[in-house]
Amino acid sequence: MERRLVLLGATLAALAPRAWAHHGWSSFDQQRPLWLEGRATQVWWRNPHAELDLQLPDKPALPADLKQRKLPAQSAGVDGQALLARAELPRRADKRWRVELAPLTRMQAWQVAEIKPGDSLGVLGFSFEAEKGEALLRAEYLFVGDKVYGLRSSPA
């Protein structure tokens, strides 16, 4: 019996960080889309969603063509062009951000190739209200090379 309790405790302790790290969309300020661009330094290709750490450049900037970029249709009603038009850089000075992508089944539906450390990418998404707490962005759109993926829902 004691051994079972030890195993149960160890299992719960191992799962706790993953459960704590998962955030629903309601935790994020969806009125203020943020643009991040940089290189992936660490990548976790797993559920409940793929994640990566993104290293920003010394002087982040919005791409000049960001508002004109074409976005793929998603099955959820997302006005991506309005998000691009309102996109801004983060106010906080963190150079490394954790980015929450989508569950692996959705990444597969979009045919996103597994991101590797060193890959360059851009992300449009949302942080917490007033960017409080950790430097965390929930990705709405992922830009890798010349490909764009909508991550809120499946492709339409």
pLDDT tens track for 44-80: 999 999 999 999 999 999 999 999 999 999 998 889 9
Nearest-angstrom CA–CA distance, 128 and 48: 19
Neighbours of 131 (CB within 10 A): 17
pTM metric for this prediction: 0.82
User: pLDDT higher for 4 or 40?
Assistant: 40
Give me the pLDDT at residue 24, please.
59
The full set of domains in the chain, from first to last, is: 25-150 (2.40.50.140)
Is residue 55 packed enough to be buried (19+ CB in 10 Å), middle (13-18) or exposed (0-12)? middle
